[in-house]
Chain A
Amino acid sequence: MKAKHQRLTLALLALAAVIGAALLALSALKDQASFFYAPSDVERDGLPLGKAVRLGGMVEAGSIKHLPDGISIRFVVTDGQASVPVSFSGIVPDLFREKSGVVAEGHFQPDGSFVATNLLAKHDEKYMPPQVAGAMHETKSLEQ
């Protein structure tokens, strides 16, 4: 093969590979990106069934119920307009409490409830999505 042709072939190959990667990624993202929902989004747009999603909002006051097995809890996530019952088994994260922000990862059931596989509490600094980040500025104060 001539040198010039080989160089062109390689360049085109690289281009094709990168475009291929982009197409593959974009088609996979359609199914596998996990969307963020607030309870009122669900009320408005219907249940996103069969997909891994994130549900964000506040833990409603008085809604946390501990089940007899000692590891499962139920609570209600609300955004002021609508609310969703959530169940979760596991160790709740630091600073998960009533009236504080939470993001639950999991999926919706056909009956409108949410099964969480993971909870991210508001102050888990590393894992807090921007969607509920509103309150972060308070830690900047120097109160003693």
Chain B
Amino acid sequence: MKRVLLWVPLGAFALLFAVVASGLFRPSDHLVHSQMVGKALPQFTLPKMVPDAPGLASTTFTDGKPRLLNVFASWCIPCMAESPNLMALKQHGVEIDAVAVRDTPRNVEDFLKRFGNPYARIGDDRQSAVQLALGSSGVPETYVIDGHGRIVEQHIGDVRAEDVPALLAALKKAGG
């Protein structure tokens, strides 16, 4: 009896640990349930931001090919952090389009020169109008769009190296 009792605190602590650990590794799940997932992209047309990439219109996303839509800005630090991972996605053959928020052509050009250009098209969203219509509340955010202009997934925050496989899988699923 005595022997068993002495181990009770350790058992209670293990239970406590399980609770706290489950809380720690869950929040990414319930933090954000996007309102936009499953909905069609809003209609928009944005002029081009830099000379060597075309602008962006919502009609681009209905050509049957799943792709990523990245909302970014040259002044945002997590955007810098995620750029190598976007480049990696590009290497995997993913087409990434971008909405540049509250930015200037010169800054965006500098940004792309420094961190590489993973984007096929870049739309100039100076007033954040498209960003808000997309239900994006900050930068960076990345949307997975299927070939019919429907939002499949909304990734909030920077794309980290460990997010790359998940995004690739989501794109593949959207295509199939």
- In their complex, do chains A and B touch, with some C-beta pair under 8 Å? yes
Please list the residues of chain A having a beta carbon within 8 angstroms of any beta carbon in chain B: 8, 11-12, 15, 18, 79-80, 130-131, 133-144
In angstroms, how far is the closest chain A Cβ from the Cβ of B7?
Answer: 12
Flag if A141 contacts B76 (CB, 8 Å): yes
Known pairs A135-B156, A140-B78, A142-B75 / 20 extra A-B pairs, C-beta < 8 Å? A8-B1, A8-B2, A11-B2, A11-B5, A12-B5, A18-B12, A130-B30, A130-B31, A134-B137, A134-B156, A136-B138, A137-B78, A138-B137, A138-B139, A140-B77, A141-B78, A141-B138, A143-B73, A143-B75, A144-B75
The answer, yes or no, to whether B59 is at the interface (CB within 8 Å) is no
Which chain B residues (141-157) contact chain A, with CB distance < 8 Å? 156-157
Complex alpha-carbon distance, A79 and B39, angstroms: 14
B73-84 vs A, Cβ < 8 Å mask (1 yes, 0 no): 101111000000
Q: Are A15 and B78 in contact (CB under 8 A)?
A: no
**A134-B76 contact in complex given A11-B5, A15-B8, C-beta closer than 8 Å:** no
**Considering only CB atoms and an 8 Å cut-off, how many residues of chain B contact the other chain?**
22
Q: List 7 A-B contacts (CB under 8 A).
A: A79-B35, A131-B30, A133-B31, A134-B31, A134-B32, A141-B75, A142-B75
User: How close is B25's CB to chain A, nearest CB, in angstroms?
Assistant: 14
Bound Cα distance A130, B32 (Å): 8
Which residues of B are at the interface with A, using a C-beta cutoff of 8 A? Answer: 1-2, 5, 8, 12, 27, 30-32, 34-35, 73, 75-78, 102, 137-139, 156-157
A143 lies within 8 A of B5 (CB): no
Q: Are A135 and B76 in contact (CB under 8 A)?
A: no
The A interface, classified by DSSP as helix, strand, loop or mixed, is: helix
A12 to B5, CA, bound (A): 8
The answer to whether A130 and B35 have CB atoms under 8 Å apart is no
The answer on a CB contact under 8 Å between A142 and B30 is no
Bound together, the chains give a CA A144 to CA B76 distance in angstroms of 11
